[in-house]
Chain A
Amino acid sequence: MEQLLSILIGILVASAVYLMLARNLLRFLFGLILLSNAANLTIFVAGRLTPGAPPLVPDGLDAPIGVVANALPQALVLTAIVIGFGLFAFALILAFRAYQSLGTLNTDDMRVAEPKEPHS
């Protein structure tokens, strides 16, 4: 299971890099979303996968019995997903505003802040 997920992460990162190399800002952002999901999966896998053993504490005990799934990476991933969601919502709006005010999504043409000829 870990190996399968690792391969999946690899595929996600490869597609993300491919998308992010594009000049189109929107494709770049899609790549970024894939990359962030790959990162989330990495955390998840790094905590080791233990299928079918929820970390539940039985009545009257302080700790779960036997081998149970690691709950911490899931908490981390949840936090990361929420934060990532907020950031990407912002980034998408920013891309939209960029298209509105600059009239392009091609990052090569975005030279307003850094004009090629500073003196002209």
Chain B
Amino acid sequence: MSWYLTLPLAIPFLTAIVAYLLRANPVGAWVSIIGSGLGLLASIALMVVVLDAGVVAGQMGNWPAPFGITLVADLLSAVMVLITAITGFAVAIYALGDITERQAQLGYHALFQLLIAGVTGAFMTGDLFNLYVWFEVMLIASFGLLILNGGKEQIDGGVKYVALNLISTILFLTGIGLLYGMTGTLNFADLALKVEGVENQGLLTVVAMMFMVAFGVKAAVFPLFFWLPAAYHTPSFSVSAVFAGLLTKVGVYALIRMFTLVFDHDIGFTHTVLLWVACFTMVIGVLGAAAQSDFRKILSFHIISQIGYMILGLALMTPLALVGAVFYLVHHIIVKANLFLIAGIAKRLTGGTEVYRIGGLYKSAPLLAILFLIPAFSLAGFPPLSGFWAKYIIVKATLDIEMWFVAFIALAVGLMTIYSMTKIWAEAFWKPHPDGIKPELKNLEHKWAQLIPVAGLAALTIFIGLNPEPFVQFAERTTAQLLDPTAYITTVLGAVR
């Protein structure tokens, strides 16, 4: 077993244990930060190895694939693990200024690290049932985080979140059972080979649709997204930032993995469904955002609308579209987590998240205003920020295959995104505070713990935006692996260790 495959998983687990033991001690938060930092180093190491080797795989317990549990990292897995670690590190620092002593005592830091472990595991597993287990690790940690120290709002949001996610989990499990019944294997690489030999290809499509619905709930696509705006605005800001950045993206990742590697037998049907889903998700999400007036609810609906772009990239299934989807995935995690972190600072400065009742941030906290503008413009797709390139590639991909209407939707949704972003800007930042409060950054407790992660993520957005070439090349390599999974399959099935 290679250390670079196990470390990104083992570090958050060990950190969770230590953080749990030290939960009553103020050191707990620092344990979480150090653990996340080490996790970041481990995932950078993984990235370096994968960049060199293409695909790396290892068998747990030395059982050869497809019998044992496979950990596998191709470029997509590696970049997702890396971006998870970056987000985790930023949020762990931010937690210093956000998480109350009471929440820390209830085990916030341990749950947070478990969530990171669950997400990382889901990105790295090469086995369908193992993916289910990682989903559960992630889910139970997220349940805990959501209702930690819960008031009425958290419990209320938590009920809907738990209920709908459990249904998706059960559907996923049923799909696993049926797929196993048809192919006799659960290893991704082995499945990719064996699905071609299935006699009843129609039944395979049925199972594919079950997976699409199950992962669709996780990814919050239309019409399965209702748990997201019900829950994401209720917990602590650190929690909603890491949820917003990572959880739905695990669903998108699972969709990309399954519908490029395993379920590519009937693209005409499955990917057409995905295309419709993508268009509706974009439009409904952005319309929902336009109707909201709470800082975090607007952002929550934006998550949904942006998920649509990623699904669109998958649905088109051309090389360029997949490049766009991968690029979008990475860009979105950084930007979205950052916006939720900024919402937290805005709340602490102005006393609320309802944008009509707060204001004055631009005049008295111009630094925060600039830090907000960077991810907000990036989300809307302004050049030269990361979101511009992401949107540009996706729209270019639709134009290349002459899907004018889809391109129109993608562009129109971008415009609508700006509309609801200007609402936040005009109300929370531009107009004076209705109660005459001057929200100044110097009054903020643990000011730097909150500003540094926000500034770091914003810098990353600018860096990707100004320097997109290596990232696009990376996404192209990733796409080449997705569309031609030979390397993936031979590495997994041939990796005898």
Given known A47-B181, A110-B156, contact A39–B151 (CB-CB < 8 A) = no
Instruction: Determine, out of B10-18, B170-178, B338-346, the stretch whose residues face the partner at the interface.
Output: B170-178
A3 at the interface (CB under 8 A from B): no
B231 at the interface (CB under 8 A from A): yes
Looking at A20, A39, A101, A107, the one whose CB has the most chain B CB atoms below 10 A away is: A39
B156: chain A residues at CB < 8 Å are: 98, 102, 110-114
Q: Please pick, from A29, A42, A110, the residue contacting B177 in the complex, using a CB distance under 8 A.
A: A42
> Closest Cβ of chain B: how far from A19's Cβ, in Å?
12
A53 at the interface (CB under 8 A from B): no
Kindly identify, within residues 135 to 188 of chain B, every residue whose CB is under 8 Å from any CB belonging to chain A. 136, 139-140, 143, 147, 150-160, 162-163, 166-167, 169-171, 173-174, 176-178, 180-182
In the complex, the answer to whether B155 meets A97 with C-beta atoms within 8 Å is yes
A79: chain B residues at CB < 8 Å are: 129, 133
In the complex, the answer to whether B181 meets A36 with C-beta atoms within 8 Å is no
Kindly identify, within residues 74 to 130 of chain B, every residue whose CB is under 8 Å from any CB belonging to chain A. 129
B231: chain A residues at CB < 8 Å are: 113
In the complex, the answer to whether A118 meets B155 with C-beta atoms within 8 Å is no
Which partner residue on chain B sits nearest A109 by CB separation? B156
A118: chain B residues at CB < 8 Å are: 292-294, 354
A80–B234 Cα distance when bound, in Å, is 30
Chain A interface size range: 35 or more
In the complex, the answer to whether B136 meets A83 with C-beta atoms within 8 Å is yes
A20: chain B residues at CB < 8 Å are: 167
In the complex, the answer to whether B174 meets A87 with C-beta atoms within 8 Å is no
> Closest Cβ of chain B: how far from A113's Cβ, in Å?
4
In the complex, the answer to whether B176 meets A83 with C-beta atoms within 8 Å is no
B230 at the interface (CB under 8 A from A): yes
A54–B58 Cα distance when bound, in Å, is 31
> Closest Cβ of chain B: how far from A72's Cβ, in Å?
8
A73 at the interface (CB under 8 A from B): yes
Q: Mark A19-50, 1 if CB is under 8 A from B, else 0.
A: 01000010011001001101110111111100
A90: chain B residues at CB < 8 Å are: 140, 143, 162
In the complex, the answer to whether A102 meets B152 with C-beta atoms within 8 Å is yes
In the complex, the answer to whether A32 meets B167 with C-beta atoms within 8 Å is yes
A36: chain B residues at CB < 8 Å are: 166, 170, 173
In the complex, the answer to whether B180 meets A98 with C-beta atoms within 8 Å is no
A97–B140 Cα distance when bound, in Å, is 17
> Closest Cβ of chain A: how far from B439's Cβ, in Å?
22
A114–B176 Cα distance when bound, in Å, is 34
In the complex, the answer to whether B170 meets A46 with C-beta atoms within 8 Å is no
Kindly identify, within residues 35 to 94 of chain A, every residue whose CB is under 8 Å from any CB belonging to chain B. 35-36, 38-40, 42-48, 72-73, 76, 79-80, 83, 86-87, 90-91, 94
B171: chain A residues at CB < 8 Å are: 39
Kindly identify, within residues 168 to 224 of chain B, every residue whose CB is under 8 Å from any CB belonging to chain A. 169-171, 173-174, 176-178, 180-182
Which partner residue on chain A sits nearest B231 by CB separation? A113
In the complex, the answer to whether A114 meets B152 with C-beta atoms within 8 Å is no
A95–B139 Cα distance when bound, in Å, is 17
A119 at the interface (CB under 8 A from B): yes
A101–B155 Cα distance when bound, in Å, is 8
Given known A87-B166, A94-B159, contact A112–B152 (CB-CB < 8 A) = yes
A44–B153 Cα distance when bound, in Å, is 40
B169: chain A residues at CB < 8 Å are: 87
B292: chain A residues at CB < 8 Å are: 118
B356 at the interface (CB under 8 A from A): yes
In the complex, the answer to whether B177 meets A113 with C-beta atoms within 8 Å is no
In the complex, the answer to whether A39 meets B158 with C-beta atoms within 8 Å is no
Which partner residue on chain A sits nearest B232 by CB separation? A113
A111: chain B residues at CB < 8 Å are: 156
A39: chain B residues at CB < 8 Å are: 170-171, 173-174, 177
B387 at the interface (CB under 8 A from A): no
Given known A43-B177, A47-B180, A90-B162, contact A35–B170 (CB-CB < 8 A) = yes
In the complex, the answer to whether A119 meets B230 with C-beta atoms within 8 Å is no
Given known A46-B177, A112-B153, contact A94–B166 (CB-CB < 8 A) = no
A101–B158 Cα distance when bound, in Å, is 13
A48–B183 Cα distance when bound, in Å, is 12
> Closest Cβ of chain A: how far from B132's Cβ, in Å?
8
A80–B230 Cα distance when bound, in Å, is 27
B233 at the interface (CB under 8 A from A): yes
> Closest Cβ of chain A: how far from B149's Cβ, in Å?
12
3 A-B pairs with least C-beta separation: A46-B181, A43-B177, A42-B177
New A-B contacts (9) at CB < 8 Å, excluding given A112-B155, A118-B292: A32-B167, A80-B173, A91-B163, A91-B166, A97-B147, A97-B155, A101-B150, A101-B151, A102-B156
Q: Which residues of B contact A (CB under 8 A)?
A: 129, 132-133, 136, 139-140, 143, 147, 150-160, 162-163, 166-167, 169-171, 173-174, 176-178, 180-182, 229-231, 233-234, 292-294, 354, 356
Q: Which residues of A contact B (CB under 8 A)?
A: 20, 25, 28-29, 32, 35-36, 38-40, 42-48, 72-73, 76, 79-80, 83, 86-87, 90-91, 94-95, 97-98, 101-102, 107, 110-114, 118-119
Chosen A-B contacts, 9 in total, with CB atoms closer than 8 Å, are A29-B163, A39-B174, A39-B177, A42-B173, A73-B177, A87-B140, A101-B150, A112-B155, A119-B356
